[in-house]
Amino acid sequence: MNVGIAQGERNPNSSWLNSRGVWLTYIILLFVLHFILLSIPYITTPVAWTLTTTIHNICSFYLFHLVKGAPWETSDQGRARRFTFWEQIDNGVQWTGTRKFLQILPIILFFIASFYTKYDRTHFVINLATMLLAVVPKFPIFFGVRLFDINRY
Amino acid sequence: MGSSANQDNVASLATDFYSLLESFKETPFYHLLFEIFLVLTVLWLILFRKPRRIEKKLTEKEKQELIDEWQPEPLVPPVDANHPALNVRVLDGIVGKTIEIDGKKSLNFATFNFLNFVGNPRIADKAIQAVQKYGVGSCGPRGFYGTIDIHLELEERLAHFFNCEEGIIYSYGFSTVASIIPAYSKRNDILFVDEGVHYAIQKGVEASRSTVKWFRHNDISDLERLLAEQDIHDKKNPKKARTLRRFLIIEGLYMNYGDLCPLPRMVELKYQYKYRIFMDESVSFGTIGQTGRGVTEYYNIDRRKIDLISSSLEYSVGSIGGFAVGSSFVVDHQRLSAQGYCFSASLPPLLAAAAIEALNIMEEKDTTLCDTLMEKSKRLHRKLLDIKGYLIVGEDISPLKHLRLTNSQNTVARLEEIVEFAQTRGITITVARYLNDEHHLPEPSIRLILNVEMTDEELEFLCTVLQEARVKVTV
């Protein structure tokens, strides 16, 4: 991210997801997770897919919407201290490529998981719940919103 | 055998997939509807939401309007012939106890040369030796090949002088305190700052983007009021209060007023309201206290109670640069976070050598430099009080005093006349100048600096000249 560029980034958290190869790595890591789950015996394919989507969505909710600040010594005088990672991406500009990619990915996962679980009702409910958890907080109406003052300061 | 098993495997895979496709045909209706809705959402997200652009584009008409409106300004605007920039006074030689302006020698009561280290031959010799050993510049910031053993030695000596754990040096006195404050205090933190602080501290406070609460100069009751208000806020919102940091920014001896800060009470309040004290001792380093260790020595306060003491090497020490001393935990943070430390070239080794030699002189066993300075300041204060018509602002032990004319006669023009008259009689003094965007400018005054090597006769002469000037100006 900061390698080979002339200007310094005030908050690298805003731009590292735009770096070369990050989206592909994200998808590959998702598949690696899925293959690990498939290798465990007694987990059938439908269960493995539901587990993949669930683990992915819960982890992404925690990392994007619960953790605040940046793991760098940023030079923005602490402007990002109260913002979650999702709000810091691209310095708050909405509807950029990365944001759309990250928002559409759980939906695609939901399609794939529904297909492989043969549209079973229980799996549908679980997948739907986690998909909403991952997709809904990413809309711009929720920018800066902290429900019930949880995680506000 | 193997090939038929293979074929079976492939066949079983195919039937699995086929069964999946079959089940696709039997999807429940609500699910199909939901999936179509999601597909449309995805398409909408991809195609119909563009990132909002920040700058507006101007139309051709608007561009032409702006071009037509533009009036060129002259390259050189008309300037008054008496502008100081056009009447430069030329100094010759070392600006020490005496100063040679336009060929005439006069006594220097204008520059911050408290201990008369400027032009001191011992220090000059050591600096020349350092040039012969290290060259002239250090060629780099501290983190990138700019750290030389003499920097580390100076840091250790300063820490030892103040009996603190660690010291850190900067290459420019102004940027010392202006880098230190933003390194610790960030956007949502609270700074309690005295209104009379000098410009570098004001810039540091501005750069930190923190919430600033100014309290009246040296007014402890005002500070207590602000602290109590903040305390009420904190009690209403304890979760927010836990993420806030509070700092008190003060100077030891104020450059704009010449008086000491009420440090003991501020340290008491520190333990009551839980804030950290950052003290700038630019003027009081080397001048206040029995051995020149500053205001903490004068008030006999344990230096561990002050979180960070910063100062400039440009005043008493006669070198260039600045430093900060404190506990290792506090000072070490600046090595990566202070902009003036990381991103400026380090102090030239010859100036570091000069500073070390100045510390040597200050730490000599039987030195009475600081005692003498305090005595002379007291004597000068008494003499100045005897002159009618001047208002002396500042402590009696302070070598930095501000002189004002009484009541409404105190204008910059009159003070400039006094300065000019004094210059004709061989005394160089100066009117304290401030920048336009300074916060809470003090009233116009003449800033008198006492040099430790001024003799009594010279001080008498100064008072005589000031008296004559007063008479001349008010007539």
Q: Is pLDDT of B191 > 70?
A: yes
Alpha helices (runs of H) in B135-209, residue ranges in sequence order: 149-162, 173-184, 199-207
Query: Which residues 6+ apart lie within 8 Å of A30 measured at CB?
Result: A52, A56, A109
Choose among B411, B318, B386: nearest CA to B118: B318
CA gap B295, B263 in Å, rounded: 8
Q: What is the pTM of this model?
A: 0.88
Q: At what angle do helices B412-424 and B456-474 cross, to 10 degrees?
A: 130
The candidate with the shortest Cα–Cα distance to B455, out of B107, B105, B96, is B107
Phi, psi of A11 (to 5 degrees): -135, 100
What domains does chain B contain, in order, with CATH numbers? 84-113+367-474 (3.90.1150.10), 121-365 (3.40.640.10)
Residue A32 has pLDDT above 70, yes or no: yes
On whether any CB of chain B is under 8 Å from the CB of A26, the answer is no
Q: Is the pLDDT of residue B135 over 80?
A: yes
Q: Report whether pLDDT(B4) > 70.
A: no
Q: Is this complex's ipTM strictly greater than 0.90?
A: no
Q: Which residues of A touch B240 (CB under 8 A)?
A: 152-153
B338-342: list long-range contacts, CB under 8 Å, 24+ apart.
B338/B168, B338/B170, B338/B179, B338/B180, B338/B183, B339/B175, B339/B179, B339/B182, B339/B183, B340/B170, B340/B171, B340/B172, B340/B175, B340/B176, B340/B178, B340/B179, B341/B141, B341/B142, B341/B168, B341/B170, B341/B179, B342/B141, B342/B142, B342/B143
Among B22, B41, B47, B49, pick the best mutation site for testing chain A contact (most A Cβ within 10 A): B49
Mutating which of A68, A76, A77 best tests the B interface, going by the most B Cβ atoms within 10 A? A77
> Average pLDDT, stretch B139-155?
95
Helices (H), B163-219: 173-184, 199-207
Residues of chain B positioned with their CB less than 8 A from the CB of A119: 23-24, 26-28, 31
> pLDDT tens digits, residue range B35-74?
899 999 899 888 887 766 666 777 888 889 999 999 988 8
Residue ranges of the domains in chain A? 50-142
- Which among A77, A82, A149 is the nearest to B182, CB-wise? A77
Of A73, A81, A110, the CB nearest to B336: A73
Q: Which residue of A has its CA nearest to B28?
A: A119
Quote the pLDDT of residue B14.
Answer: 74
Give residue A109's pLDDT: 95
B42 to A104: CB separation less than 8 angstroms, yes or no? yes
Instruction: Examine the pLDDT at B28 and tell me if it is beyond 70.
Output: yes
Q: How is residue B26 annotated by DSSP?
A: T
CB atoms B45 and A96 under 8 Å: no
CB of A82 within 8 Å of a chain B CB? The answer is: yes
Q: Does B8 have pLDDT greater than 80? A: no
In the prediction, which pLDDT does A1 show?
44
Query: What's the CA gap between B155 and B341, in Å, rounded?
Result: 13
**Contact assessment for residue B358 and residue B317, using Cβ atoms and an 8 Å cutoff:** yes
Closest of B86, B112, B171 to residue B351, by C-alpha: B171
> What pLDDT is stored for residue A18 in this prediction?
92
pLDDT digits (tens, 9 = 90+) for B76-116: 888 888 887 888 889 999 999 999 999 999 999 999 999 99
Give mean pLDDT, residues A46-52: 95
Q: Hey, which residues does B250 pair with through a beta bridge?
A: B279
Question: Distances in Å between the alpha carbon of B338 and those of B68, B179, B219?
Answer: 47, 5, 30
Is A77 within 8 Å of B239 when comparing Cβ atoms? no
Contacts of the segment B382-386: beta carbons below 8 A, 24+ positions apart: B383/B459, B383/B460, B383/B463, B384/B448, B384/B463, B384/B466, B386/B463
Whether A5 has a pLDDT exceeding 70, the answer reads: no
**Which residue among B38, B49, B182 sits closest to A107, beta carbon to beta carbon?**
B38
Q: What average pLDDT does this structure show over B184-188?
A: 93
Q: What is the mean pLDDT of residues B355-366?
A: 91
Which of A1-5, A65-69, B453-457 is predicted with the least confidence, judged by mean pLDDT?
A1-5
Q: Is A148 on the interface with B (CB under 8 A)?
A: no
Contacts (Cβ under 8 Å, ≥6 apart) of B66: B58
Find the residue in A nearest to B37 (Cα).
A107
Residues B264, B299: Cα–Cα separation, whole Å: 7
